[in-house]
Amino acid sequence: MRGYRRRFFKADLMAGLTVAVVAVPQSMAYALIAGLPVQYGLYASIVPTMVGCLWGSSAQLITGPTTAASLVVFSALSPLAAPSSAAYIQLALFLSFLVGAIKIVMGMARLGKLLNFVSHSVLLGYTAGAAFIIAFKQLPNLFGLEIASGGHFVLALFRILSNLHHIHPATFSLGLLTIGIIVTFKRYLPNWPGTLIAMIIVGVLVAVFDLDKRGVAVVGAIPQSLPPLSKPDFSLFRDLGQLAPGALAIAILGLVEAVSIARAIADQTRQRLNINQEFIGQGLANISASFFSGYPGSGSFTRSAVNFRSGAKTPASGIISALAVAAVLLLAAPLASVLPFSSLAGVLVVVAYDMVRKDDIVRTVRSTRADAAVLVVTFLSTLLLSIEFAIYVGVMLSIGLHLAATSHPQIYSVLPDLDTGKMVGSAYDDICCQMDVVQVEGSIFFGSSTFVLDDFQRRLRNHPYMPNLLIRMHKVNTMDASGIHLLEIVLEELKRRGGGLYMAGVNHRVFEVIKDSGLLKEIGHLHIRTNTGTAIRRAMQESFCPAVCAACPLTVFRECPELKKGNWQIFGRGINPRVCRLPQAENVAPARQADKNTGPAEPVAKRE
């Protein structure tokens, strides 16, 4: 409040009231998805919204019930208790406490970067699948059918199709009217509160024509009071094994939604976000919901977008919206007695349609096969498996595909261009018979170590007498213990041949790993150079055999012509080459005439 300015108030007031107009019908509808009485959706839009605004990081993010979180709540709790029952409500309060605790722990542990492993394709696939389920679950309310809820998607669809002849005309007509009004306002008067207007019109029709007495199911009276204090039943820790998967799924999904929305808005407002602080704010909001009769929620895309478009300057707009919802609850609660369930179902059908981001889906499917696979698998998992499990499937598939992509770094031989000195890709038969210069592009870690080791060993097998290997590591960003282990294996083989392992362009982080592991002492401090040219010259001074150079027909390096003449003084006065000899002259064969499938035949040099 010390930084608040009076000029902000008018913009925050108008934005907050506009958000409240959207929040009231949405919150009631979302409570139906969660299997709770409609007033619990309103409760979740009051205190949790205030807490999220006060302790979060984003200036425009609005916290409260959302479609995705509501769907997971129903999926996690419906097997444990009857929806809307007292036991179900207690489970929802306790679940909200669990979700909040998980988010706070993640925020305090600074785990915000973990959200980078939840790809955009996962969110798109899950949102599309959730939209299908939300719309599908509202069909009985929209048609006025009384059929058993729950069960598998296909079984529930069969129940609906087999009962279509029992559609209640008046109920169905009110639902269609709600959809028609909302769609009309969205198209021609997008700045008007079409959802609220639709619900008012339909409610008036029910009241005027007494449709609630003619078979139209209505919400009924809701308590005309502020959110009552509540206390989560901590004895429900006995059901932690059943609740934990759903709580973790809601936490992950809620954080992904909240951070995605906050970042999208911050990109336009140039606000600097603290993601870990947003975690804590979302966690406190969910914990407050458990003590003020709410249920788990997260950042709402719709209400946050309305808040931003309405000109909100500070989180005060969210607090104003929460106070406005509380005022509606106190003053207009009796009006809900004439609100038909089919109208709320119509609202949710429109929301579900808007949830499917068709342009983003098309773009993602066209981008890469991996993105398309993640999207499709997550979508099908959402439809055919449990909702919370679908999140894990999408996340694990994203991580798996990421590891698969990073586990195959680019590895290829290079040599210096004799005219420019720049390193270029080499032909297979142009490799120096005493040292292969290898470029590695990608991290050398536990996921890629097997692939890298196989590649190095293949090169050594194809060149059985090559004693040296120079690795260019300019594009190796990270290395772990698995990478150190594979280098030890390669180094041992090179030492057996009488040569050594050399490196060029090692960044500071990778160098520290090599030094701390003790590998630096084994390789030798002078074997790691800043650029490739000095590393090549170091290898020539220490490990090249003059007899092999004299017999080699290739000119791979600029120094080759002088080395063929035996002029090792190019490295400085007093530099003497290693003493070696060729045991059999016939073993020296021109490299260019070698079979390319087995590698060039190389001179056999024997160290003394």
Mean of pLDDT values over 20-29 = 87
Query: Closest Cα partner for 26 from 350, 388, 251?
Result: 350
Query: Closest Cα partner for 494 from 528, 463, 454?
Result: 463
C-alpha–C-alpha distance, residues 483 and 407, integer Å: 12
Query: Closest Cα partner for 411 from 441, 433, 454, 382?
Result: 441
Query: Closest Cα partner for 128 from 63, 185, 71, 175?
Result: 71
Mean of pLDDT values over 33-57 = 94
Place of tokens 């500071």: 508
Predicted local distance difference test score (pLDDT) of residue 428: 55
C-alpha–C-alpha distance, residues 522 and 510, integer Å: 16
C-alpha–C-alpha distance, residues 290 and 230, integer Å: 7
pLDDT greater than 90 at residue 205:
yes
Contacts of 198 (CB under 8 A, 6+ apart): 177, 178, 181, 182, 185, 343, 346, 347
C-alpha–C-alpha distance, residues 382 and 185, integer Å: 31
Domains along the chain? 7-402 (no CATH), 410-607 (3.30.750.24)
Q: What sign has the CA pseudo-torsion 239, 241, 242, 244? A: positive
Interstrand relation of 528-529 and 501-504 (parallel, antiparallel or unpaired) = parallel
pLDDT greater than 80 at residue 473:
yes
What are 384-431's pLDDT values in tens digits? 877 777 777 887 888 888 778 788 899 999 988 888 878 888 765 678
Mean of pLDDT values over 575-588 = 59
Q: pTM score, two decimals?
A: 0.69
**DSSP letter at 57?**
S
Mean of pLDDT values over 288-296 = 95
What are 332-342's pLDDT values in tens digits? 877 778 889 89
pLDDT greater than 60 at residue 605:
no
Give the CB-side neighbour count of residue 134, counting CA atoms within 13 A. 33
Question: Contact 377/125 with Cβ under 8 angstroms?
Answer: yes
Predicted local distance difference test score (pLDDT) of residue 458: 94
Q: What sign has the CA pseudo-torsion 593, 599, 600, 603? A: negative
Residue 411 CA, distance from chain mean position? 28
pLDDT greater than 80 at residue 156:
no
Predicted local distance difference test score (pLDDT) of residue 150: 57
More confident residue, 591 or 311: 311
Q: Read off φ and ψ for residue 339, nearest 5 degrees.
A: -85, 120
pLDDT greater than 90 at residue 101:
yes
Mean of pLDDT values over 546-568 = 88
More confident residue, 361 or 394: 361
Contacts of 259 (CB under 8 A, 6+ apart): 112, 115, 273, 275, 278, 299
Predicted local distance difference test score (pLDDT) of residue 482: 94
Q: H or E element: which one contains 415?
A: strand 410-416
Predicted local distance difference test score (pLDDT) of residue 196: 84
What are 432-446's pLDDT values in tens digits? 889 999 999 999 999
What are 227-236's pLDDT values in tens digits? 999 999 999 8
Place of tokens 């609202």: 347
C-alpha–C-alpha distance, residues 499 and 492, integer Å: 10
Question: Contact 265/102 with Cβ under 8 angstroms?
Answer: no
Predicted local distance difference test score (pLDDT) of residue 40: 95
**DSSP letter at 530?**
S
Q: What sign has the CA pseudo-torsion 171, 173, 174, 178? A: positive
What are 165-178's pLDDT values in tens digits? 889 999 999 999 99
Predicted local distance difference test score (pLDDT) of residue 192: 85
Residue 308 binned pLDDT confidence (cut-offs 50, 70, 90): confident
Question: Contact 302/66 with Cβ under 8 angstroms?
Answer: no
Question: Contact 499/433 with Cβ under 8 angstroms?
Answer: no
Residue 357 binned pLDDT confidence (cut-offs 50, 70, 90): confident
pLDDT greater than 50 at residue 604:
no
Residue 130 binned pLDDT confidence (cut-offs 50, 70, 90): confident
Helix (H, G, I), strand (E, B) or coil at 298: strand
Mean of pLDDT values over 127-138 = 84
